[in-house]
Amino acid sequence: MPPIKITYYSDLLCVWAWIGQRRLDQLASDFGTKIEIETHFCSVFADAWGKIEGGKGFDGFNAHLREVTTPFPHVELHPRVWLDARPRSSASAHLFIKAIELIEAEDGEALAWTDRASTRAAWALRCAFFQHGRDISSYEIQCEFADEFGVARARIEEKLCSSEAITALLRDYQICNDHGIKGSPTFVMNEGRQRLFGNVGYRLIEANVLELLRNPPTDQASWC
């Protein structure tokens, strides 16, 4: 039986994707080669300042994040998140990760999803912002993680300057639009029949995967 494909959509500046990352990691740990994880970026914070200022403002958004993260002891939110470092957009960080993904594809080394430099760099950027209060839209900060994970800056810049990275990112955004992805994070399985959006518990995600592993007929919808 081929692995179950799980497509995961998220925005690097989405707090729920940061909180929920360990559920994706747990899936990879529990199911191993039985699943195939494919990730795409969605554009929730394309204009982060406009989004936040159009709501309760930076002070209000900071208070909101401090409130919603309180029940999750596995994450440590920087108390001044969005007050000091204020990324204008998630697109810059997304672009950086797409460049790394392109380099990985070019090198052709088959690694498990959790072992890829792009996966580890994306997580490092999330933590840099939410836990350490750094502006991850800064290219210099992004490049610190390229150095950490052994990806040459020159190769990243090549993907940026050639427009390959922006093409890959825009392709992600188009996929989100084509498949009606409304927010971050979103899990999609079973050729789009099963979608789990937002702060979804691990057991519910696991139940969907287990149901699909029972290999229902292709013309029959899963019971989950």
Residue 135 belongs to domain with CATH number: 3.40.30.10
Position 32 scores a pLDDT of: 95
Q: Is residue 223 part of a domain?
A: no
Structural tokens at position 20: 């929920």
CB 132 within 8 A of CB 84: no
Position 109 scores a pLDDT of: 80
Paired with 7 in beta bridges are 38, 188
Paired with 40 in beta bridges are 9
Structural tokens at position 98: 């797409």
Position 219 scores a pLDDT of: 55
Q: Is residue 221 part of a domain?
A: no
Q: Is residue 222 part of a domain?
A: no
Position 110 scores a pLDDT of: 82
Backbone angles phi, psi at 188, to 5 degrees: -125, 130
How far is residue 19's CA from residue 21's CA, in Å, rounded to a whole number? 6
Read off the pTM: 0.93
- Helices 153-161, 164-178: axis angle to 10 degrees equals 70
Position 224 scores a pLDDT of: 47
DSSP state of 53: H
- Please confirm whether the linkage preceding 2 is cis (ω < 30° from 0): no
Position 198 scores a pLDDT of: 92
Which residues of the chain, if any, have pLDDT below 70?
216-224
Q: Is residue 205 part of a domain?
A: yes
Q: Is residue 133 part of a domain?
A: yes
Position 220 scores a pLDDT of: 55
DSSP state of 115: G
Position 114 scores a pLDDT of: 94
CB 89 within 8 A of CB 113: no
Position 42 scores a pLDDT of: 98
Structural tokens at position 35: 């699943």
CB 172 within 8 A of CB 41: yes
β-strands 35-41, 4-10: how paired?
Answer: parallel
Q: Is residue 224 part of a domain?
A: no
> Could you tell me how many helices (H) and strands (E) the chain has, helices first?
9, 4
Print the domain residue range for 177.
4-213
What is the total count of domains within the chain? 1
Paired with 39 in beta bridges are 8
